[in-house]
Structure 1
Amino acid sequence: MTDSTTAPRDEAFDPEVLSSAEVYRGAVWGIREDHVRYGDGEIVRQYIAHSGAAAVVAMDEDGRVLLIQQYRHPIRQRDWELPAGLLDVAGEDPMDAARRELAEEADLVASAWEPLISTYTTPGSNSEIVHIYLATGLSPADAAFARTDEEADIRLAWVPLSEAADGVLAGRLRNGILAAGVLAAERRLSPTGRQGRGA
C-alpha cells in the first residue's frame, strides 16, 4: 500500500532476464522477446526496442504553439503533433535532436531552450521515452529542408496555447506527445504553474 503522504514516483525495478532475443527486425525498429523471472514464476514479453525521441513545444512571442499535421498510417489519420523525431544519431543529445527536428519539420530555429517533460509513450509495448523541450525566440532557419514521404505534405498551424490545451481536453487533438507537451507547457507558463512545480 502506498503511503498517502508521499508523492508517487516511478521506481527502477530489474528482475532477472533469463533470455532476450530480437525476433523481428524492421526498417526502423526491432521487436524483442524476453523471458523474465518474475515472483515465483516466469513471464514472456514481446516489445518494440525503441531508440527514444525528442519533441518541441515551439512558442512564438504571441503565446502560440506550433502544431504540425501529417499522415500516420497505423491510425489511418492525419493527426496534429509537435515537431518530433527519433534519437537515431549515435551519441546525439536529445536537445540537439529537438533542434534538428524543429529545423527539419518547420524550417525554424530557436534561441532559448529548456527541458519541459519526459514521458514513456506506451510502456506496456515499447521502450520509447520522449524528451519534450520548450523552445522560444523563434526565427527562420537558414535553409528549407527537403521533405519526402509523409513529411512532404506536412501542414503547419500556429495555435494559442490555451486553445491547443482545450483541444486536447475536448478530444479533438489526441496525439499523446502533443497532449503531454501542450498541457505541461500551459502549466509551466501559468503564474501558479511556475510557483507550484515540485521536484
Structure 2
Amino acid sequence: MARSMTIAKLRNYLNTLASGLIDNEHKDETTSILADCWTSLDGGDAEGMHADKLSGRVEDMTWESPLLSFKIERHGRTVNGSSRADVHQWVIDVDRGTASCFVVGHRQLTPNSPRLDVKSLARGVAALILEEKHDPKLTWLDARSVKVNLNEVIPKVGPAQTIEDRRRRFRIELGHVLESGGWCRRAKGSHLVFDRSEGE
C-alpha cells in the first residue's frame, strides 16, 4: 500500500502539468516528489542510482503520460581518471511503477590532455643512449645494456588510458630509432631494456 501511495502522489502531481518539457518552476517540485518514491520504483537501483543523486542534477525533464523522462550526468568514470562523464536517460512509467535507464551520451568535463610529441621524446632518449649518457631516464645495466625508466620519461600523471597510450607510442618510436643505431629491445620482461647489437 505504501509503495502505491508514494507513486500515486507523483502520478497525481504530474497529471496537473501540461505535456512536454517541465519548466523550472515545476521541475524542482517534481524532482522532490520523485525522490520520495524512488526506492519504490522497480529498476530504480540500476547504474548505482539513488534518490539523493537527483537533487539539482536533473535535466530536460519531460512529461508525456504515463512517462516521465529526464537526463542526469553521472561521474562514475571519473573515479578511474576519465575526463568524461556519462549522460543517462531515465524513463519512469508512473502507471507501472518502473524505472529504466539508458546511456545516451558523454560529456567532456575537463579539456583533453594535449597530445604528447612522442617522436621528439623518443629521439631525445635515443640520443642519450647512443651517446652513452648518464641520465635519470636511464639505468645502465652494463656497457651494452640499458633500461629506460618510463616513470621518468612519461610520469603517471593524468588519466591512466592516456598515460598507457603515450607510453605505447613512445616504446614503438624509441624502438625504431634505436634499431637504426644498432640497438634492439629485449623480447622478454616487462621492463623497457635495450641491448647493443653484437659488432656495434
How high is the TM-score relative to the length of structure 1?
0.22
More helix by share: 2
Of structures 1 and 2, the larger Rg is shown by: 2
More strand by share: 1
Higher RCO, 1 or 2 (CA under 8 Å, sep at least 6)? 1
How high is the TM-score relative to the length of structure 2?
0.22
